[in-house]
């Protein structure tokens, strides 16, 4: 299965996301180049790490990647304008914990760390046994104060990584470029056919 088809299937499993006008405005405002945009919520160190993580999660192949549709800038604006103060605080704690772990394991500064080094660390958090995966899932349903002290750092890092992953997928699939070039898109919808086989549906549909 090539990546284009895999992404289409993934979008079907995600379901249809109806974004509020405010979120669509955030999406449309993310037009700066990765190298030049200035974060409003993320620090410079966090911008570098998030940019690499976004590129690792959805890299470009025969179709555009997440960086091609300005997902890091979208994540920064969503965190700044949409997330609650408590969620912002948790994200910052997790991002700082990940940055500290990155510098300790790679010997590189978080503000200038390479994608390859970020990817090595990223893999360590998802190369887990089934038992470990269940443990992480259970912990992520808890509040920070309910997590054991010896697991607090890992809990915060996973909060950070899951937030980046979630917003990467959301920003990517709701971007205009992906909606019109990868998903099925018809600016003038036709008839409605209920109760048809899933195989006849084709791609997930983009609603613009």
162 within a domain of the structure (yes/no): yes
pTM of the model: 0.75
200 within a domain of the structure (yes/no): no
pLDDT tens for the chain, residues 1 to 208:
454 455 444 444 444 444 555 555 555 555 656 667 899 999 999 999 999 999 999 999 888 899 998 899 999 999 998 899 999 999 999 999 999 999 999 999 999 999 999 999 999 999 989 999 999 999 999 999 999 999 999 999 999 999 999 999 988 888 766 655 654 444 555 555 566 565 555 554 444 4
CA dist 44 → 31, 67, 138 (Å): 19, 17, 32
pLDDT digits (tens, 9 = 90+) for 124-165: 999 989 999 999 999 999 999 999 999 999 999 999 999 999
Tell me the two tokens of residue 37.
């945009």
192 within a domain of the structure (yes/no): no
Identify whether the C-beta of residue 120 lies closer than 8 Å to the C-beta of residue 131: no
13 within a domain of the structure (yes/no): no
Q: What b-and-e string marks burial along 190-203, b requiring 16 or more CB atoms within 10 Å of the CB? A: eeeeeeeeeeeeeb
24 within a domain of the structure (yes/no): no
51 within a domain of the structure (yes/no): yes
182 within a domain of the structure (yes/no): no
Domain that holds residue 154: 33-171
Domains of the chain: total:
1
8 within a domain of the structure (yes/no): no
């Amino acid at each position: 299965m090539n990546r284009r088809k895999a992404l289409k299937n993934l979008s079907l499993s995600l379901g249809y996301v109806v974004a509020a006008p405010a979120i669509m405005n955030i999406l449309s405002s993310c037009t700066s180049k990765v190298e030049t945009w200035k974060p409003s919520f993320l620090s410079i160190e966090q911008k570098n790490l998030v940019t690499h993580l976004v590129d690792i999660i959805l890299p470009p192949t025969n179709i555009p990647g997440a960086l091609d549709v300005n997902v890091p800038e979208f994540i920064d604006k969503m965190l700044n304008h949409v997330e609650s103060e408590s969620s912002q605080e948790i994200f910052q704690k997790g991002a700082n914990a990940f940055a500290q772990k990155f510098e300790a394991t790679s010997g590189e500064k978080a503000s200038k760390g390479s994608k390859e080094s970020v990817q090595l660390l990223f893999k360590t958090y998802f190369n887990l046994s089934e038992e470990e995966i269940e443990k992480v899932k259970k912990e992520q349903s808890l509040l920070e104060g309910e997590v054991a002290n010896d697991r607090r750092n890992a809990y915060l890092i996973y909060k950070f990584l899951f937030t980046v992953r979630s917003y990467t997928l959301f920003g990517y699939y709701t971007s205009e470029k992906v909606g019109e070039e990868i998903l099925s898109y018809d600016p003038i919808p036709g008839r409605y056919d209920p109760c048809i086989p899933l195989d006849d549906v084709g791609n997930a549909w983009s609603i613009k």
